[in-house]
Amino acid sequence: MRRGEVILGLRYHPDERGELVSRVVGVEPMRVICSPEHPLVGKRVSKRHLANAKWVGFPAVRGRESFGRLLERLLAPIGVDDVKITLIDSLTAQKRLVQAGFGLALVPESSVRDELKLGSLKELEIPAMRASIPVALIHRRNGYLNPAARALIALMSEKSLRLGERGSAG
């Protein structure tokens, strides 16, 4: 985006840097996932379970919102502040480690929709960890916007994306 190779982009969380225009156009639910064989599948998950669990997640980025910061923020109010998080900077690698039984992860629903449907990953229902993240449309502040880009911006400003809705074209 900053190099001018693309006109528009979608990203999680708005980017407030001056050279970009960023507007939230939707939200995506986050899901806590585990392997199908994980001992917590089908159980009522308690604080004790979460405190003893291993997690994989993105690093918490200083000074701005990130997946890693969201995980920390969701665990803190339920009293889980000394959790073991293995930092993995790849969503695909996180999913594969979770599938292999390494631990739990908090991921965007659209990134695991197929695995959940196939049963290669399971979702843990943890009410205290329900969250969604904003999806932002971005473009360069002084970049050229062709008519198609302007039309798409207008359309996306009118209609909110709901990437996590089950059954949506997402």
Say whether domain 8-162 belongs to CATH 3.40.50.300.
Answer: no
Q: Could you read off the pLDDT of 98-135 as tens digits, one per residue? A: 999 999 999 999 999 999 999 999 999 988 889 999 99
**Domain edges within the chain:** 8-162
Return the bridge partners of 162, or none. 27
110: tokens are 């659209």
149-to-7, 64, 108, 117 alpha-carbon distances in Å = 7, 27, 26, 34
Question: What is the structure's pLDDT at 107?
Answer: 95
Instruction: Give the largest Cα separation in the chain, rounded.
Output: 55
Of 13, 1, 29, give the one whose Cα is nearest residue 149.
1
Of 102, 97, 127, 126, give the one whose Cα is nearest residue 112.
97
* Range among 17-21, 73-77, 95-99 with highest mean pLDDT value: 95-99
Under the banding of pLDDT at 50, 70 and 90, the label for residue 169 is very low
**Other Cβ atoms within 10 Å of 132 Cβ, number:** 16
Model pTM greater than 0.75? Answer: yes
3-state secondary structure 26-82: EEEEEEEEECCCCCCCCCCCCHHHHHHCEEEECCCCCCCCCHHHHHHHHHHHHCCCC
